[in-house]
Amino acid sequence: MPQQKPVNPFYVALVPAGIVFAVTACAYGVMTVRGLDPHHAANDGLIRLMEHRGLLILVVELALLAVLTVAAIGSDDFWTRRFEEARRTASKDDDQP
């Protein structure tokens, strides 16, 4: 039975980080659009958080995405070589009686 190619854990970490960044960016956009209308007096919860710390949160998430992207691309060769070596070792073991 052929081995499955291993998944790079940094790519796995990029998915939730990207989703969180997308949700935060949408919330920041909603906060900005709501800020254009002076009739919205109630700014509690998420909108208030985005007003006070939204830009900082976005920058931190963007930096995390950048680090994870560089790590994923940089470690791709490692995971590929590891998989190829394991496959060669397994095929040598299968060839021996």
Domain boundaries, the chain: 9-89
| Residue 6, Ramachandran bin (φ over 0: left; ψ between -120 and 50: alpha; else beta) | beta
- For the chain, give the mean pLDDT: 85
- pLDDT tens digits, residue range 13-67? 999 999 999 999 999 998 888 878 777 666 778 888 888 999 999 999 999 999 9
pLDDT of 2 > 70? The answer is no
Contact 17, 63 (CB under 8 A): no
Q: How far apart are CA 20 and CA 80, in angstroms?
A: 28
